[in-house]
Amino acid sequence: MARERVLITGAAGFLGSHLCDRFLKEGYHVVGMDNLITGDLRNIEHLFKREDFEFYHHDVSKFVHVPGELKYILHFASPASPIDYLKIPIQTLKVGSLGTHNLLGLARAKKARIIVASTSEVYGDPTVHPQPEEYYGNVNPVGPRGVYDEAKRFQEAITMAYHTFHGLDTRIVRIFNTYGPRMRLNDGRVLPAFIGQALRGEDLTVFGDGSQTRSFCYVDDLVDGIYRLLLSDYVQPMNIGNPDEITIREFAEEIVKLTGTTQKVIYQPLPKDDPKQRQPDIRKARQILNWQPKVSRAEGLKITYEYFKSLPKDLLYQRDHKNFENYIR
**Shortest Cβ 197–ligand UDP spacing (Å):** 8
If one counts every other C-beta atom within 10 angstroms of the C-beta of residue 68, the result is: 11
User: How distant, in Å, are the alpha carbons of 7, 33, 49, 201, 220 from that of 4?
Assistant: 10, 17, 19, 48, 22
* 135 is a catalytic site residue: no
What is the rounded distance in angstroms from the CA atom of residue 163 to the CA atom of residue 150? Answer: 20
Among residues 110, 113, 171, 214, the one that binds ligand UDP under rule CB under 6 A: 214
Residue 271 interacts with ligand UDP (CB under 6 A)? yes
Shortest CA distance to 182 belongs to which of 7, 26, 12? 12
> Shortest approach of ligand UDP to residue 319 CB, angstroms?
13
Part in contact with ligand UDP (CB under 6 A); list of ranges 4-12, 95-103, 132-140, 189-197: 189-197
Cα torsion at 279, 285, 287, 288 (round to 10°)? 160
Question: Phi and psi of 172, rounded to 5°?
Answer: -130, 120
As to burial, measured by CB atoms within 10 angstroms (0-12 exposed, 13-18 middle, 19+ buried), residue 324 is: middle
Is the Cβ of residue 110 or residue 297 nearer to ligand UDP in the bound state? 297
Q: Please list the residues that pair with 138 across neighbouring strands.
A: 124
Looking at 207, 234, 307, 327, which residue binds ligand UDP (CB under 6 A)? 207
Q: Does 177 bind ligand UDP (CB under 6 A)?
A: yes
Residue 180 interacting with ligand UDP (CB under 6 A): no
CB of 25 to ligand UDP, least distance (A): 28
Buried b (16+ CB within 10 A) or exposed e, 192-225: bbbbbbbbeeeebebeeebebbbbbbbbbbbbbb
**List 123, 148, 162, 305, catalytic entry:** 148
| 253 belongs to the binding site for ligand UDP (CB under 6 A) | no
**Distance of alpha carbon 95 from alpha carbon 118, whole angstroms:** 12
Query: Which x/- pattern over 65-104 shows residues binding ligand UDP (rule: CB under 6 A)?
Result: ----------------xx----------------------
Please report whether residue 190 would count as binding ligand UDP according to CB under 6 A: yes
- Identify which of residues 139 and 206 has a Cβ nearer to ligand UDP in the complex: 206
Asked if 247 touches ligand UDP (CB under 6 A), the answer is: no
Residue ranges binding ligand UDP (CB under 6 A): 81-82, 177, 188-190, 193, 205-207, 212, 214, 248, 271, 274
Task: List residues with catalytic annotation.
Answer: 148
